Structure 1
Amino acid sequence: MKTLLNDTAEPTSGEKHMTGETLRITGGRPLRGRVEVKGAKNLATKAMVAALLGETTSVLRDVPDISDVQVVRSLLEVHGVTVEEGPEPGSLTFDPRGAVAAHFEEIDAHAGASRIPILFCGPLLHLLGEALIPDLGGCRIGDRPINFHMDALRAFGAVMDKSYEGIRITAPDGLHGAAIELPYPSVGATEQVLLTAVRAKGTTELRNAAIEPEIMDLIAVLQKMGAIISYEPNRVILIEGVETLRGYDHRCIFDRNEAASWACAALATDGEIFVGGAKQQEMLVFLNVFRKAGGWFDVHEDGILFRRDGSLKPVMVETDVHPGFMTDWQQPLIVALTQAEGRSIVHETVYENRLGFTAALNQMGADIVVHPDGLDTPDRRVPRRALEQAAVINGPTPLHGADVVVPDLRGGYSYLIAALAAEGESIVRNVDILRRGYEKLFTKLDALGADYDVIG
């Protein structure tokens, strides 16, 4: 039974109990029940930015109530966009006709640690003739992502001026179509190109583009606005620039990351969870691995039911860009694999240093060895990359309670699953981070019968 302690802060969403950042969890209880997933974080925030490109109002539906959405809403409002709730629950309406320039300080104050300001560049250059990026710092945005973005904007004709406040971007001769090949199929850089190219003069050819379902949904949003975008085999996207765009009315694609997270929670706790809103097609790769690991699922018209099918089995997984196994899926899966009978290997090839969260799982009783330079095994299919790591998980190992601190969004959710699966009491700190990507998390835990208290 959940109780609220030290309930002094005002909630940031509709959940009265979303007030603390530390949980006390009593684990060992299977999670059973139904949860609903809304629109994907990785689409909703980008579609909100796209509203800047339209000359009329836009409506985005199934918008998740998460902190990343609040960050983008604040940034849009700082730039003079009118944002209102409605016309239906969970939808937002955007009117960009009052758009104005903002100061570095305002952008920085509302952006926090978010990477979203970088995606405002193309739309703001078209709308206002300049864009400002505060000095986010390497630990916030990382060298590789910002370099990909800046190189793409330069190809369109943008000019960067660095100051102590950040980067001022202008386009003295306007933005024009370009031939761009990404060094890596980066989701963020692909979004940057799409949001910039749709109103640039001429045609843009983007090679080695990301093709995630959320990218395809963003393309659908832009096409509704009047953009001309086509894609060819081998990661090639063609964008013919147009002079004007109108607003859109769009329902977000479901959040496949959250859906996979709940599926792994069912696997780890030996529970049964129906994930309303989840769809099979966008989760094909995950569902295959889920089944190999000993999971069972049943696809319904309105969602997917997940549970175990006997004992868990070891698997070998390689993360990769779409259509590969998503990097955001591996963290919650690793928790479940600690209970598999044998040796599992997870090769992380997308992000560097993304297996650090496993140290806390070892503290809880797991047997996980991280190989910082990866492993070259004969059954690998994804090309090896310089930044890759590998985790070897030996199981099954009983998990026990521990005191852990959430490091990031997906790793933090994995700590939550581990605490719910573990015997005894766990303290999970810094859970506010989970608000970035999990809507009404505590409400969903209540629906699944989780035993926890908010204690600070």
Structure 2
Amino acid sequence: MVDGLLQVEGGRPLTGEITVRGAKNLVPKAMVAALLGSTPSVLRNVPLIRDVDVVSGLLTLHGVSIEHDRTEGILTLDPSRVETAHVADIDAHAGSSRIPILFCGPLLHRLGEAFIPDLGGCRIGDRPIDFHLDILRQFGASVDKLQAGIRLTAPDGLNGTVIDLPYPSVGATEQTLLTAVRAHGLTELRGAAVEPEIMDLVDILQKMGAIISVDTDRTIHVEGVEELGGYNHAALPDRIETASWASAALATRGDVFVRGAHQSHMTTFLNIFRKVGGAFDVRDDGIRFYHSGGDLRSIVVETNVHPGFMTDWQQPLVVALTQAEGLSIVHETVYENRFGFTKALRKMGATIQVYRECLGGTECRFGQRNFYHSAVVSGPTPLTGADIVVPDLRGGFSHLIAALAAQGTSRVEGVNLIDRGYESFMSKLAALDADVTRLA
């Protein structure tokens, strides 16, 4: 059975206006944070994406009452009757989502136990949950690996600890924050991730009554409290979706106004966008991205943790780089296996070579591990329509951009994956005058 099939007639500029709402990398975590409160929470600017539905289902299974105003994008979450969910139900609702691992800290505080099924997710690299389990053990949780998943218990509660991350993992930082805020005593997290979505989660937890400080050296201090209340918060806009539409405007020689986009979250991307030859106008209510009319320029870019160039920005940008003059180099340092999507671009006419070496100017942790984590893009090369299959969320949207930029007809299969992180993307394509038809 085809899991979402689009027919794309490419070769026409994307022009018009779309709106981005809350970040996929923040909203599900903010929903989980509501478990920690003794009173209801209100989350605003919530996008209509599949991950929100998955987390809503999991929270409901655990006894959280949820009201969702889908038109206004407002969630009201009441955790006053939290209880243990059945293993089979959790497994059925979670699907391939990795979000259940973040339920553990809050559930251990509320119930003294938690269960997570086998976890899936986008296959873009090794994403072990060992970091998470080690962190929970350091707080005092007992971890038992069962055939159906992992059971955690903490009948005597959790205690603050010192955690030193070998890499500033976003997921591990979220796990620590969601667990530390109600642990007994002090927690010190060294080498923390400091992405805008992490800072927004810190703001939410502080609104709930948490005591958290963030130092300039990536150290976060948390003083545990006995009780937290609910929150009222508007999620920060999705900077990944914003960059994706910006890259689509560039690749198709278009002009797209992204309502809701914030400059402060996009600084590094905007610099690269301008260096390539894109143009943008920052307004109070969003950012206009457009092709300036000249030749695009090749660049050298390395992905990195914040405040570096975000890994989720590189895949859409690579499509635009196929239309730039000369050789562009992209060095991926966050995920070791994120250039698989370029196979489809080569099928469409792009000239892209991938290498095991660190080609960006600095060595990274993948340099000695035999991973294809650098790419050289030679352009400009005309793209032609083709039949392609979506590999993962961000790579899939990049394939869609390529199909929009290509001359001729493309059939893009597996687009249901895109629903995980791009709200109403079909309606937005229509608003931008794209010629796209959903076949299945």
Q: Higher mean Cα deviation, 421-430 or 172-181?
A: 172-181
Partner of 1:259: 242
Partner of 2:192: 209
1:260 and 1:220, CA in 2 relative to 1: closer, same or farther beyond 3 A? same
Q: 1:193 aligns with which of 176, 185, 188?
A: 176
CA-CA distance at 1:137 after TM superposition: 6.3
Equivalences, count: 436
Matched, 1:425 2:409: yes
Is the CA contact (8 Å cut-off) linking 1:50 and 1:222 kept in structure 2?
yes
Is the CA contact (8 Å cut-off) linking 1:115 and 1:141 kept in structure 2?
no
Is the CA contact (8 Å cut-off) linking 1:159 and 1:171 kept in structure 2?
yes
Matched, 1:385 2:366: yes
Is the CA contact (8 Å cut-off) linking 2:97 and 2:120 kept in structure 1?
no
Partner of 2:386: 402
Q: Higher mean Cα deviation, 331-340 or 168-177?
A: 168-177
1:108 and 1:72, CA in 2 relative to 1: closer, same or farther beyond 3 A? same
One-letter amino acid matched to 2:54: V
Map 1:315-394; keep pairs closer than 5 Å: 315-371=299-355, 373-376=356-359, 380-381=361-362, 383-386=364-367, 389-394=373-378
Partner of 1:454: 438
1:261 and 1:382, CA in 2 relative to 1: closer, same or farther beyond 3 A? farther
Partner of 2:251: 268
Map 1:224-235; keep pairs closer than 5 Å: 224-235=207-218
CA-CA distance at 1:206 after TM superposition: 0.1
CA distance in 1 between counterparts of 2:314 and 2:358 reads 16
CA distance in 1 between counterparts of 2:50 and 2:329 reads 33
CA distance in 1 between counterparts of 2:107 and 2:283 reads 42
Gaps (5+ residues) in structure 1?
1-18
CA-CA distance at 1:140 after TM superposition: 7.0
One-letter amino acid matched to 1:181: D
CA distance in 2 between counterparts of 1:382 and 1:211 reads 22
Q: 2:160 aligns with which of 177, 195, 198?
A: 177
1:112 and 1:270, CA in 2 relative to 1: closer, same or farther beyond 3 A? same
Q: 2:140 aligns with which of 149, 153, 157?
A: 157
Matched, 1:114 2:114: no
Partner of 1:219: 202
2:182 is paired with a residue whose SS is coil
One-letter amino acid matched to 2:304: D
CA-CA distance at 1:454 after TM superposition: 1.0
CA distance in 1 between counterparts of 2:34 and 2:216 reads 28
One-letter amino acid matched to 2:366: R
1:254 is paired with a residue whose SS is coil
1:399 is paired with a residue whose SS is coil
Gaps (5+ residues) in structure 2?
none
CA-CA distance at 1:135 after TM superposition: 2.3
Is the CA contact (8 Å cut-off) linking 2:105 and 2:175 kept in structure 1?
yes
Partner of 2:118: 135
Is the CA contact (8 Å cut-off) linking 1:114 and 1:140 kept in structure 2?
no
CA distance in 2 between counterparts of 1:242 and 1:277 reads 35
1:123 is paired with a residue whose SS is helix
Partner of 1:445: 429
Identity %: 64
CA-CA distance at 1:345 after TM superposition: 0.5
CA-CA distance at 1:141 after TM superposition: 10
Map 1:46-85; keep pairs closer than 5 Å: 46-85=29-68
Q: Higher mean Cα deviation, 139-148 or 339-348?
A: 139-148
CA distance in 2 between counterparts of 1:58 and 1:31 reads 38
CA-CA distance at 1:452 after TM superposition: 1.4
1:59 is paired with a residue whose SS is strand
1:258 is paired with a residue whose SS is helix
CA distance in 2 between counterparts of 1:252 and 1:137 reads 25
CA distance in 1 between counterparts of 2:220 and 2:417 reads 34
Partner of 2:262: 279
CA distance in 2 between counterparts of 1:273 and 1:265 reads 9
Q: Higher mean Cα deviation, 129-138 or 312-321?
A: 129-138
Matched, 1:91 2:63: no
Is the CA contact (8 Å cut-off) linking 1:52 and 1:123 kept in structure 2?
yes
For residues 322-367 of structure 1, give each alpha carbon's deviation from its aligned partner in whole angstroms, at most 9, with x where no partner exists.
Answer: 0100000000000000000100000011001110100000000000
Q: 2:7 aligns with which of 15, 20, 24?
A: 24
When the two structures are superposed, what TM-score results if normalisation uses the length of structure 1? Answer: 0.93
For residues 365-421 of structure 1, give each alpha carbon's deviation from its aligned partner in whole angstroms, at most 9, with x where no partner exists.
Answer: 0000011x23345xx256453456101000000000000000100000000000000
When the two structures are superposed, what TM-score results if normalisation uses the length of structure 2? Answer: 0.96
CA distance in 2 between counterparts of 1:116 and 1:397 reads 40
CA-CA distance at 1:165 after TM superposition: 1.2
1:427 is paired with a residue whose SS is strand
Is the CA contact (8 Å cut-off) linking 1:145 and 1:189 kept in structure 2?
no
